Amino acid sequence: MRKLELHWKILIGMVLGILFGFLMTIFEWGPEFVQDWINPFGSIFVKLLKLIAIPLILASLVKGISDLKDISKFRNIGLRTIAIYIGTTVVAITIGLLLVNVLQPGNGISEETIAQLTETYSNDSGVTSKLEEASRQKDSGPLQFMEDMVPDNAFNALGDNSAMLQVIFFTIFLGISMLLIGEKKAKPLKKFFDALNDVVLKMVDLIMLTAPIAVFALLANVVVSSGDPDILLALLKYAGVVVLGLLLMIVFYSLVVATFTRYNPWTFLQKISPAQLLAFSTSSSAATLPVTMERVEEHIGVDKEISSFVLPVGATINMDGTSLYQGVAAVFIAQALGFDLTFGGQLTIVLTALLASIGSAAVPGAGMVMLVIVLEAIGFPADKLAIGLALIFAVDRPLDMLRTVVNITGDACVSMMVAKSVGKTIKPKVKNWDDNLEEVK
């Protein structure tokens, strides 16, 4: 009997989780049962992925840089990566703005729906916390992101998953310093990181054995904790515009992969699908990062020298799906609340969403914080910010799940482009969790 591939197992787990979640909503005790007895399995899975994210970045990035032998190669990779990420983000925002201006979902929202959403969500802790975080970021200086990138304590940075840029900075600094002391002196440390990298990748394989069960638990909890169905239906047109834009971004990536790398786009999507499904379930690029790296290296054939830099950086600064959502959400809120948005204001959205995506945490809900910054940049009334967020808060979680899929797909696409441009594509070599089992028997 043919072994069922991982992405099919995860997909089955997702479908069963959604169906089970809807079934539990029928019973009064159902949601509490799911949150107490089902959701912990999903939470443990996400914690395990986050547990190995920083060790994986540290080991693979040091290994990648130390294997380069030439600092100029690293400079070329870095410049190409940043340039391509900026380009894809601008494309994403542009697609979002074009769709929302043509389809105008905000013009169909009634005064009654606005009042209902405002009453339900404007004082919600989720909305108020996003406003507070955005205010904190807005009050910081223009170069604060550069200051935040440099840690004052490497061990504190390595112990904080939200400090991804600090970890990347320290790791690059360490890798370059290893190159500068010469191969002979750096050899013991390089051996350590090579071994650590192999161990962490084996941990990824082991964790992925539980993925179908984990996504079942995560999706069941999402269903039972979703909001009022009537409110969700009222926002269906807005959500549809966002989803259409995200689908167009997947098409864009497929075309780029086919044109630039000469790789079959259907095969690309199939190979990356386990990471996409996990991104959908967890809503976190950071949690999905270990799986994204494993799929890109072992299944698509991107050399570790490229993936170990491009993917961690992408998880932090490349948020194409989130940036597209910024454009749609900002214009939708302006349309619904009668705020006059000029062409110049829409150009401001492009620039602000691009800048806001750099350094934004790769965690669930970060897009809402970015949205507040975008709205303030176009002069949206401060007293209506809470109302604006309340309009879209009900559907933010499912849209967050979808835009995270686009974010990690963009990361994988860019890693392939960079690898192709510097001649670092390799023959895929898939590793399984039990490859070395005979050695330990």
- By mean pLDDT, which of 29-33, 46-50, 377-381, 433-437 is the weakest? 433-437
**Looking at residues 350-371, what average pLDDT do you find?**
71
Instruction: Tell me what pLDDT residue 352 has.
Output: 85
Instruction: Tell me what pLDDT residue 3 has.
Output: 59
Average pLDDT, the chain: 87
**Looking at residues 278-303, what average pLDDT do you find?**
93
Residue with tokens 């401001």: 348
DSSP code of residue 107: G
The set of residues, in sequence order, having a beta carbon less than 8 Å from that of 286 and lying 6+ positions away, is: 50, 53, 161, 164, 315, 361, 362, 363
Instruction: Tell me what pLDDT residue 141 has.
Output: 65
CB atoms within 10 A of CB 23: 14
The set of residues, in sequence order, having a beta carbon less than 8 Å from that of 304 and lying 6+ positions away, is: 60, 63, 64, 67, 197, 297
pLDDT tens-digit readout, 297-331:
999 999 988 999 999 989 888 889 989 998 999 99
pLDDT at 363 over 70: no
pLDDT tens-digit readout, 30-85:
999 999 999 999 999 999 999 999 999 999 888 888 877 667 777 888 899 999 99
- By mean pLDDT, which of 16-25, 34-43, 117-126, 216-225 is the weakest? 117-126
State the Cα–Cα distance between residues 164 and 382, nearest whole angstrom: 31
Cβ 204 vs Cβ 55: under 8 Å:
no
Instruction: Tell me what pLDDT residue 319 has.
Output: 87
pLDDT tens-digit readout, 110-148:
788 788 778 877 777 777 877 777 777 666 666 677 788
Q: Which residues pair with 302 in a beta bridge?
A: 425
Closest C-alpha to 239, from 325, 158, 153: 325
Rounded to the nearest 5°, which phi and psi values hold at 263? -105, 140
254 falls in which pLDDT band (50, 70, 90)?
very high
State the Cα–Cα distance between residues 398 and 378, nearest whole angstrom: 26
364 falls in which pLDDT band (50, 70, 90)?
low
Query: In this predicted model, which residue has the larger pLDDT, 387 or 270?
Result: 270
Instruction: Tell me what pLDDT residue 1 has.
Output: 35
Q: Give Dmax (Cα) for the chain.
A: 72
pTM over 0.85: yes
**Looking at residues 161-175, what average pLDDT do you find?**
88
361 falls in which pLDDT band (50, 70, 90)?
low
Q: How far is CA 435 from CA 292, 357, 432, in A?
A: 20, 39, 5
Instruction: Tell me what pLDDT residue 73 has.
Output: 76
2 falls in which pLDDT band (50, 70, 90)?
very low
pLDDT tens-digit readout, 77-110:
889 999 999 999 999 999 999 999 999 998 877 7
